[in-house]
Structure 1
Amino acid sequence: MSFKMNGLDELAKELKQISKNAQALAGTHEYSFDEIFPNKFMLENTNFSTIEEFLLSSPEKISSNEELEKADETILDTFVSEQTKFSTWEEMLSTATESLIIDRLGF
């Protein structure tokens, strides 16, 4: 006795694609702020429509990676807590990065 389950074939195909996408993510990658913080993420989670607008509006007036690295984390965290759904810059960055990975995996 045997029977065919089409749903499992489709699931296997999707799992294979997710595996392929995961392999593409393996290793070290550099992503731009626009990739990590797409406009959709910014609109849903902040009072700004782009990451550039957000960073330039911060008290630190951040316009480059170097300026972000030098920024006072306490001041940035306060700005994040006032202007976003997050408590800290690290929380905002982590959530955005998780969203990017989930999207790249194909979920």
Structure 2
Amino acid sequence: MSGEENSFAEPWQAQAFALALALQDKGLVSPGEWAAALGRERARVGVAADGSDYYHGVVAALEALLAEKGLADHARLAELAAAWHRAARATPHGAPILLENDPVGQHG
């Protein structure tokens, strides 16, 4: 593999992976806890032959760990995810997607 190949197809994939590493660096999650959470998620939903689902598993494992550790709860994470989806649909093509673009608002 050359040094120019990118293992992330989308920026959000790199951000999700970086968040997993940051949680470990801060001592909030051990490498073993992270590996176990990701393994549980991959076992729960299965694995696509082409690996395209890997980073969705990373996000699901992060959400599970955050809830397990009391750092976030599933309801709040679902609420924020829905807000980001609404904001994306309300954002003109080519413009940055901002949570403030959610027409429902109130994300404090």
Say whether the fold is shared (TM-score over 0.5): no
Q: Of the two structures, which has the highest relative contact order with CA contacts closer than 8 Å and spacing of 6 or more?
A: 1
Which structure's residues are more often helix, by fraction? 1
If the length of structure 2 is used for normalisation, what is the TM-score? 0.28
